[in-house]
Amino acid sequence: MTGPERVAELIRSSGPVVVLTGAGISVPSGIPDFRTPQTGIWANVDPMEVAHIDVWRRDPARFWSFYGQRFAILDGKEPNGAHRAIVELERRGLVTGVVTQNIDGLHARAGSDPIEVHGSIRTASCLKCGRSYSLEETRRRLGEEADGVPLCDCGAPLKPDVVLFGEYLPEDAINRATALAANAGLMLAIGSSLEVHPVAALPRDTLINGGKLALVTMGPTPYDELAAVKLSGDVVEELEAVLVALG
């Protein structure tokens, strides 16, 4: 039995299936991951110096000089076959929930309704008056300002609705994700190193409650020895092969 056939068997036989995704699922869409040398988002920059909530408060121009580049990276990017495979699994009633660490919004664009535990770059908010702006409007305002800091109508700097270093994850999102993981018969973790907590604990919530774990990721994870199966190839090819095996 091939790896994709084994994953398909687990999906069919394990009850509620929950998908957990990380940066690796979006790499085929042209979005770099975080840790790959030379090409990863954090390869040539210290995230604590550009993407920390204290940097946003103290030096919004420095913060937005980095996040403006992230906006540019995401411009025109589309969901790939891995995102679409998950939507197909949901359509067939085989996946009951999707949890993602990604902020790129590609799951939603593909047709899923994910729990975005690290927030989303699709909107930005004013922490002073509470007003919210779309990504398009935020980018327009960013381009209007000489220092590159998009401003609210009230004059305060905007903050993207993502979880920055130094911030807590949204309590509702992590609680919903934890409940899904604890009740899952199978967690299918895709494109995640499973090293960033508290999200990295979700597979353990599945395992300690009697569920199984399947991994689809190229790099090593702390759960490799605990997983029922691991697929280490291209995420699009692997998930499309799983769909073929499901028939």
C-alpha span between 24 and 102 (Å, rounded): 9
CA 180 to chain centre: 16
Measured on CA atoms in the order 205, 208, 209, 213, is the torsion positive or negative?
Answer: positive
Q: How many helices (H) and strands (E) does the chain have?
A: 10, 9
User: Edge to edge, what strands does the sheet with 119-125 contain?
Assistant: 132-134, 119-125, 159-162
DSSP 68-105: HHHHHHHTT----HHHHHHHHHHHTT---EEEE---S-
Residues assigned a catalytic role: 118
What is the DSSP code (8-state) at residue 154? T
Q: Under a CB-based contact definition with an 8 Å cutoff, are residues 10 and 228 in contact? A: yes
Please provide residue 77's backbone torsions phi and psi, each rounded to the nearest 5 degrees.
-75, 140
Query: CA torsion, points 87, 90, 91, 92, in degrees to nearest 10?
Result: 130
